[in-house]
């Protein structure tokens, strides 16, 4: 870290200083710069604003507030765009295969702009799911002082006395197909579930990742559970810009903050809040970008230690706005810190340690709420993201075990080589209690791009089969998914993993107590099927999908593309 006499344009000086850079400076003059501006830091604003989706359509005001904050604190703001796709809109279609691809594209955008323009720092504004890990990976790869500004959660919709969110609509599809919800009620739910801007409202993927970033120390305290429509979100964006300028002065970089201990803090908060299975995939990739040693087994190590403290959707009662009212992520962190489950000495982007940030937070959650539980009264005594291994997943698979009375099933395999026919089978009533659905060729290489199976898992819940039907896949799940589900099965089918050799009616065991995922078929028979198996032709041979399929590592190492 630097002292106060070091210039704070230590990178952009490469592009604006000395006689030979006169042509480069000419370009800046065209942008309204004055001579004195060349002494100031150039601060990127990676702006995820987009009118594609409510998750991102409320970001411009945050980018504007950040620009104002940067200029007021003596920096030059340089705005550039990052793309998004909307998981909620692409879900269930071939378009969903671009979702994880967009994580790469976003991180590439940030690394490329910060690197090419010698920016001195970067503030990332993001909303929908992949904006989060993509933004963090870009910040870590660029490794210039950086802060994450989350766009904020959505407010709940409302119908017939119930709070609604996007997952209500996915579950309504299954309820309707099972004859338990009228067409009129379904239409009203569809129209009222999403009342405005913000990211999906439960402890789904975007809110999981924002909460984890706060725990990492890369976003301001309380910022990750604020609602997009509320003014405090803008104030926090402006404050984030000011904090970033101070970090630039100190040369406090993302890789100084995102250490192995900081990742343990983030994963502890993911377990305590009952977060999305995607956090496993994304934190493997984030650790890779940070050059921190972190494996899939580290999640299991954390799960055994950390209880689920919060009663949040998908399987629980409350939404992110309720968590915010109840004290937010700092309250969850304070409970964990007091229980010895958080490293208080990790540094945050403010320059304070986690313990300093949490100093004024009450030791015990407020008595007038039941969103955040006290350490002695958890929702579940252990974490909810379990890593299952066995002959179906020697590299690991991820199960989410909240909301289930008994996360154990042995049943006949019902095999699908795509998502759509699996959904159709559920809607047509062809899936029965006791079945174990196998959705395969949907992994990082096979999908490609590992789509999320929210349509089938939501339909199972809606049809009342969440407890009694198992579902395993080499694809991913939404943060809104729950039930007897196991994703990220690795190695994936397209890479010749055992999941490719499952046949209709084979017996499969999911046992989340014993952490086992087994195909109950003799080893010799599996080997025979393996010998007869031929890898399918790639679904894409050009473009980003082909690049992703060719380069992606296994889900068990984060499905990263730069694993050389």
Ligand X SMILES: CC(C)(O)[C@@H](O)C(=O)O
Q: Give the number of other Cβ atoms within 10 Å of residue 535's Cβ.
A: 12
* CB-CB contact of 443 with 411 (8 Å): no
Q: How many helices, marked H, and strands, marked E, lie in the chain?
A: 21, 14
Active-site residue, selected from the candidate residues 107, 199, 210, 478: 478
208, two tokens:
């999981």
- Report if residue 171 touches ligand X, rule: CB under 6 A: no
175-210: b (≥16 Cβ within 10 Å) or e: bbbbeebeeeebebbbebbbbebbbbbbbbbbbbbb
- Report if residue 278 touches ligand X, rule: CB under 6 A: yes
Compute the least distance from the CB of residue 302 to ligand FES, in Å: 24
CA distances from 74 to 6, 63, 67, 69, 499 (A): 15, 17, 11, 9, 56
Query: What DSSP string runs through 230-288?
Result: SHHHHHHHHHHHHHHHHHHHHT--HHHHS-HHHHHHHHHHHHHHT--THHHHHHHHHHH
Compose the 4-43 pattern: x for residues touching ligand FES by CB under 6 A, - for all others.
Answer: ----------------------------------------
Distance, CA of 136 to CA of 557 (rounded, Å): 17
- Cβ closer to ligand X: 190 or 251? 190
Compute the least distance from the CB of residue 84 to Mg ion, in Å: 12
- Report if residue 478 touches ligand X, rule: CB under 6 A: yes
Dihedrals phi, psi of 176, to nearest 5 degrees = -65, -45
- CA 356-207-228 angle, 5° bins: 90
Instruction: Choose among ligand FES, Mg ion, ligand X, none what residue 494 binds, the Cβ cut-off being 5 to 8 Å by kind.
Output: none
Residues 289-328 that bind ligand FES (CB under 6 A): none
Compose the 82-121 pattern: x for residues touching ligand X by CB under 6 A, - for all others.
Answer: -----xx--x------------------------------
Give strand ranges (E) for 424-483. 436-439, 470-473
Query: What DSSP string runs through 77-143?
Result: EEEEE-----HHHHTTSGGGGGHHHHHHHHHHHHHHHHHHTT-SEEEEEE-STTHHHHHHHHHHHHT
> Which listed range, 79-87, 338-346, 499-507, 542-550, lies at the site for Mg ion (CB under 5 A)?
79-87
Instruction: Choose among ligand FES, Mg ion, ligand X, none what residue 53 binds, the Cβ cut-off being 5 to 8 Å by kind.
Output: ligand FES
- Cβ closer to ligand FES: 88 or 145? 88
> Which listed range, 127-135, 160-168, 178-186, 400-408, lies at the site for Mg ion (CB under 5 A)?
127-135
> Which listed range, 45-53, 204-212, 284-292, 374-382, lies at the site for ligand X (CB under 6 A)?
204-212
Compose the 17-36 pattern: x for residues touching ligand X by CB under 6 A, - for all others.
Answer: --------------------
Compute the least distance from the CB of residue 235 to Mg ion, in Å: 28
- Report if residue 133 touches ligand X, rule: CB under 6 A: no
* CB-CB contact of 450 with 444 (8 Å): yes
- Report if residue 277 touches ligand X, rule: CB under 6 A: no
The strands making up 396-400's β-sheet, listed across from edge to edge, are 385-388, 396-400, 484-490, 470-473, 436-439, 408-416, 507-511, 516-519
> Which listed range, 80-88, 402-410, 505-513, 529-537, lies at the site for Mg ion (CB under 5 A)?
80-88
Q: How many residues bind ligand X (CB under 6 A)?
A: 16
Compose the 228-247 pattern: x for residues touching ligand FES by CB under 6 A, - for all others.
Answer: --------------------
Compute the least distance from the CB of residue 47 to Mg ion, in Å: 21
Strands 121-126, 42-47: pairing kind: parallel
- Report if residue 206 touches ligand FES, rule: CB under 6 A: yes
- List residues bridging with 414 in a β-sheet: 437
Q: Measured on CA atoms in the order 427, 429, 432, 438, is the torsion positive or negative?
A: negative
> Which listed range, 81-89, 157-165, 345-353, 538-546, lies at the site for ligand FES (CB under 6 A)?
81-89
Compute the least distance from the CB of residue 461 to Mg ion, in Å: 16
- Report if residue 55 touches ligand FES, rule: CB under 6 A: yes
Q: Would residue 36 show up in a list of annotated catalytic residues for this protein?
A: no
- Report if residue 129 touches ligand FES, rule: CB under 6 A: yes
Greatest Cα-to-Cα distance within the chain, rounded to the nearest angstrom: 76
346, two tokens:
């990790």
- CA 214-219-221 angle, 5° bins: 65
- Report if residue 84 touches Mg ion, rule: CB under 5 A: no
Question: Which of 87, 163, 419, 452 contacts ligand FES by CB under 6 A?
Answer: 87
Instruction: Choose among ligand FES, ligand X, Mg ion, none what residue 462 binds, the Cβ cut-off being 5 to 8 Å by kind.
Output: none
Q: Give the number of other Cβ atoms within 10 Å of residue 352's Cβ.
A: 14
Compute the least distance from the CB of residue 6 to ligand X, in Å: 42
Instruction: Choose among ligand FES, Mg ion, ligand X, none what residue 276 binds, the Cβ cut-off being 5 to 8 Å by kind.
Output: ligand X
Distance, CA of 307 to CA of 301 (rounded, Å): 12
- Report if residue 205 touches Mg ion, rule: CB under 5 A: yes
Distance, CA of 312 to CA of 477 (rounded, Å): 17
Task: List the end-to-end C-alpha distance of the chain, in Å, as a whole number.
Answer: 30
Question: Which of 28, 148, 204, 213 contacts ligand X by CB under 6 A?
Answer: 204
- Cβ closer to ligand FES: 206 or 387? 206
- Report if residue 452 touches ligand X, rule: CB under 6 A: yes
Give residues in contact with ligand X (CB under 6 A). 87-88, 91, 129, 166, 200, 204-206, 276, 278, 452, 454, 478-480
Binding footprint of ligand FES on the chain (CB under 6 A):
53, 55, 86-88, 128-129, 199-200, 204, 206
Give the residue numbers annotated as catalytic, written as ranges.
Answer: 478
């Amino acid at each position: 870290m630097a002292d106060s006499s070091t210039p704070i344009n230590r990178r952009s000086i490469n592009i604006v200083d000395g006689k030979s850079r006169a042509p480069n400076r000419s370009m800046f003059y065209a942008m309204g710069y004055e001579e004195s501006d060349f002494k100031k830091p150039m601060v990127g604003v990676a702006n995820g604003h987009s009118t594609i989706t409510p998750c991102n359509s409320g970001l411009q005001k945050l980018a504007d507030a950040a620009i104002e904050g940067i200029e007021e604190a003596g920096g030059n703001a340089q705005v550039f765009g990052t793309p998004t796709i909307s998981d909620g809109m692409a879900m269930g279609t071939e378009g969903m295969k671009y979702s994880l691809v967009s994580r790469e594209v976003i991180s590439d955008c940030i690394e490329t702009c910060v690197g090419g323009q010698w920016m001195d720092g970067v503030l990332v504004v993001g909303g929908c799911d992949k904006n989060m890990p993509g933004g963090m990976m870009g910040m870590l790869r660029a490794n210039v002082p950086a802060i994450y500004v989350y766009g904020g959660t959505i407010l709940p919709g409302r119908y017939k006395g119930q709070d609604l969110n996007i997952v209500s609509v996915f579950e309504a599809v299954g309820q309707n197909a099972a004859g338990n919800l009228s067409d009129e009620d379904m239409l009203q739910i569809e129209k009222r579930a999403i009342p405005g801007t913000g990211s999906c409202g439960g402890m789904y993927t975007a809110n999981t990742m924002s909460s984890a970033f706060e725990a990492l120390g890369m976003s301001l305290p309380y910022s990750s559970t604020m609602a997009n429509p509320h003014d405090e979100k803008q104030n926090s964006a402006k404050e984030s810009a000011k904090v970033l300028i101070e970090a630039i002065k100190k040369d406090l970089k993302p890789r100084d903050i995102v250490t192995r201990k900081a990742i343990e803090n983030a994963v502890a908060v993911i377990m305590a809040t009952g977060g999305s299975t995607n956090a496993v995939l994304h934190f493997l990739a984030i650790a890779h970008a940070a050059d921190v040693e972190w494996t899939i087994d580290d999640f299991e190590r954390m799960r055994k230690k950390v209880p689920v403290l919060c009663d949040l959707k998908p399987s629980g009662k409350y939404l992110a706005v309720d968590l915010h009212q109840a004290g937010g992520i700092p309250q969850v962190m304070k409970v964990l810190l007091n229980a010895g489950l958080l490293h208080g000495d990790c540094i945050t982007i403010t320059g304070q340690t986690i313990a300093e940030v949490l100093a004024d937070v009450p030791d015990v959650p407020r008595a007038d709420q039941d969103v955040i539980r006290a350490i002695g009264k958890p929702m579940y005594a252990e974490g909810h993201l379990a890593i299952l291994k066995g002959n179906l997943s020697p590299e690991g698979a991820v199960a989410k075990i909240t909301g289930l009375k008994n996360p154990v099933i042995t049943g006949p395999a019902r095999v699908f080589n795509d998502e759509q026919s699996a959904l159709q089978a559920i809607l047509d009533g062809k899936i029965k209690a006791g079945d174990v659905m196998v959705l395969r060729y949907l992994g990082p290489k096979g999908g490609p791009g590992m789509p999320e199976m929210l349509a089938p898992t939501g339909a199972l819940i809606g049809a009342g089969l969440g407890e009694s039907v198992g579902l395993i896949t080499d694809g991913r799940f939404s943060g809104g998914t729950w039930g007897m589900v196991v994703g990220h099965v690795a190695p994936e089918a397209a890479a010749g993993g055992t999941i490719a050799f499952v046949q209709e009616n084979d017996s499969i065991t999911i046992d989340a107590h014993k952490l086992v995922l087994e195909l109950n078929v003799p080893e010799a028979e599996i080997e025979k099927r393996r010998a007869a198996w031929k890898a399918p032709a790639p679904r894409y041979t050009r473009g980003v999908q082909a690049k992703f399929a060719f380069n992606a590592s296994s889900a068990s190492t984060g499905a990263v593309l730069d694993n050389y």
